[in-house]
Amino acid sequence: MSDITLTHPTHSELGITIAGFFTGIVQRHTFNRTTHELSLLNDHTLADIGLSRASLARATTIEELQAMSGGSF
C-alpha cells in the first residue's frame, strides 16, 4: 500500500488562486456588459463594426468579438 500525503497550498499559491478567481469574475462581468451594450445597437450599426446579432450570441469572450469584427471596437 502507498501512503497519501496531503499538502496545503502556500500563501503565494493561495493568493494566485484567489487572484485568478476574481480576475475571471471581472472578465465575465466585462464581457456581459459589453455584449449587452452591443445588443442595444441596431443591426445597421452592428454591421458597420463587422458584427451581427448571431456573432454576439456565439462569442464567449471579448477577444472573440474583437476578432469577429476585425478589431473594430
- Of residues 42 and 3, more confidence is placed in 42
Task: Report the C-alpha gap between 34 and 64 in whole angstroms.
Answer: 12
Q: Answer for the pair 46, 72: CB distance below 8 angstroms, yes or no.
A: no
Question: Residues 3-34: pLDDT tens digits?
Answer: 777 777 677 888 899 999 999 999 999 999 99
What average pLDDT does this structure show over 47-63?
95
* Res. 1: pLDDT tops 70: no
Task: Report the C-alpha gap between 57 and 64 in whole angstroms.
Answer: 11
The pLDDT of residue 8: 72
DSSP string, 4-33: ----PPPHHHHHHHHHHHHHHHHHHHHHHH
Q: Indicate the helix (H) or strand (E) that contains 38.
A: helix 11-39
What average pLDDT does this structure show over 36-60?
96
